[in-house]
A and B are shown apart, each in its own frame.
Chain A
Amino acid sequence: MEIILFKTILVLVLFLISLGIAAYSTYAERKVAAFLQDRIGPDRAGPFGLLQPIADGVKMFLKEEIIPNHSNRWLFILGPCIFMLTALMTSAVIPWGLPLEFDGTKYALQVADINIGVLYIMGVLSVGVYGIMIGGWASNNKYALLGAIRASSQMISYELAMGMSIISILLISDGSLSLSHIVESQKGMNWNVFYQPLGFLIFLICAFAEANRTPFDLPESESELIGGYHTEYSSMKLGLFLFAEYINMFISSTVISCLYFGGYQFPGLAYLSAHLPANVVSIISIGALFTKVFFFIFFFMWVRWTIPRFRYDQLMRLGWQVLLPLSIANMLITGGVITFFNL
């Protein structure tokens, strides 16, 4: 009974954290953009503009809600809902830290420790494309449809290379797909990124493509598709799309941290857990994970304001002719090394 209560609280907290981080990512994006361009950015709402996300949220809620006459009404509403739902669902299998302890019982900071955690994330992310596709198609608008087509083909192309680079991770972590196991196998500084630098690079590039971030933001390129799949959306339905995108970015950063940078692990964790009470160590480990996550969120933004967008043929060539063969080669080499040296 207690475990259900704990999980419910954890789900609620994760929900709020995801939304909060997404909201403040919009603020951070504008601030980072401004600072990289020698500007100051939003600073009117509250100290340093910290209340800006609230102002933006209120604006989104108060805007007129338009459903185009020729659109498919129910699919039009369903699109952003699916996108948001899948974005929020992915955080279920991520281990957020060492277990908390109350009354001698340990509560794992993970909503569901399923043994196919990585596959679950890949699967749910793929379902997220349906949100974009349905939304873009139901809008009955050329630009929206083009954006949706681009999004789906891009996601499919880059999921392959992403999956291949994940297989290399599985090879070096005893073939377990459970995220908590993968994180636990990277004790101290024994991070996967040092064994899989190429795999990490491929995964990072694919994560950019999956999250529709620059330089892979073709589905919603403002300058050519006037917003892409959310051209016809307004008010909070547009807000859901934009929000879900930032949640996707947050989840991508978390997955990168868990797969390649040891998740909540950091050098000295073993020493700390021997000398400090379990709950304190747990909170420190959560902090370690979020430090990595925030760095990667910053990295996403940093790249966005550095590199221009790919051309569509370049995007496809990179996905199919460069990343996919590279990731297969990476997988083969990893497997070969493990077999020959009996690691």
Chain B
Amino acid sequence: MNQLTNRSKVVVHKEMNWIEKLYLPAIFQGLIITIKHLFKKKATLRYPEVTRPFAPVYRGMHVLKRDEQGRENCTACGLCAVSCPAEAITMDAAERKKGEEMLYREEKYAAKYEINMLRCIYCGLCEEACPKDAIYLTDRIVPSDYNRNNFVFGKDVLVEPIDQRIDISKRKKDYSIVN
């Protein structure tokens, strides 16, 4: 038969001789094996103090980006909501009034933008659909809660604060290479 690896062992159901029936050599062998593990490197990571680094493609909590001048990128076109396979995204569009040019980049903006974090499957299709560089998935972890209602995240959570920009440079795809 064709063997995939050379690690296979032939199993023989032979009678044990009397030394093997004593079990003591086998027990001693086992003790040696376990004591060796006493000195091995531990696999545990002390989690809250030490975190495992995320892969650059990790898809965590969403962020709604602002541009360099601090204006929201989102124009409420709805492409993310359409592309979402879990139907987790809803939004209401509104027209930008005079004097709000510093808040929204284009004439139309999302007055309400909600993602249901319990529905979201973190596939990242919203990010791919977005023509305005507005939504990205980050390496942040969605905080836990006792109440289901609190998992519907609105703009207050999703839009990045002006003074604390969220770094998404790792997720920004360089389409010039593809094309």
Contacts and interface: CB of A to CB of B under 8 A. Distances in A.
Given A40-B44, A43-B46, A35 B31 contact: no
9 contacts: A35-B38, A36-B35, A38-B40, A38-B41, A38-B43, A40-B42, A302-B34, A306-B27, A307-B30
A106 to B, nearest CB: 41
Given A306-B27, A306-B30, A307-B27, A39 B35 contact: no
Query: Which interface class (under 10, 10 to 19, 20 to 34, 35 or more) fits A?
Result: 10 to 19
**Chain B interface, >50% SS class:** helix
A303 interface: yes
A302 B46 contact: no
B52 interface: no
Contacts of B30: 306-307
Given A307-B27, A307-B30, A302 B35 contact: yes
Interface in A210-230: none
Contacts, number: 35
A38 B42 CA distance: 5
Interface string B16-49: 0000000010010011011101101111101000
Interface string A291-333: 0000000000011011100000000000000000000000000
Contacts of A38: 37, 40-44
B27 A36 contact: no
A37 interface: yes
Given A39-B42, A43-B46, A303-B31, 6 more contacts: A38-B37, A38-B43, A40-B42, A302-B31, A302-B34, A307-B27
Interface of B: 24, 27, 30-31, 33-35, 37-38, 40-44, 46
Contacts of A201: 24
A305 B42 contact: no
B49 to A, nearest CB: 10
A37 B34 CA distance: 8
B38 A36 contact: yes
Contact of A37 (B24, B35, B37, B41): B37
Contacts of A306: 27, 30-31, 33-34
A36 B33 CA distance: 9
A305 B37 CA distance: 11
Interface string A29-47: 0000001111110010000
Contacts of B27: 303, 306-307
B37 A35 contact: yes
A216 to B, nearest CB: 13
A36 B40 CA distance: 9
A36 B41 contact: no
Contacts of A39: 42-44
B42 A36 contact: no
Interface string A20-62: 0000000000000001111110010000000000000000000
Contacts of B31: 302-303, 306
Nearest to B39: A35
B17 to A, nearest CB: 16
Which of B27, B33, B41, B42 counts the most A-chain CB atoms under 10 A from its CB?
B42
A110 B24 CA distance: 36
A302 B41 CA distance: 18
Contacts of A35: 37-38, 42
B37 A36 contact: yes
A40 B38 CA distance: 10
Interface in A192-215: 201
B20 to A, nearest CB: 14
The 7 closest A-B pairs by CB, nearest first: A40-B44, A306-B34, A306-B30, A36-B34, A38-B43, A35-B38, A39-B44
Contacts of B33: 306
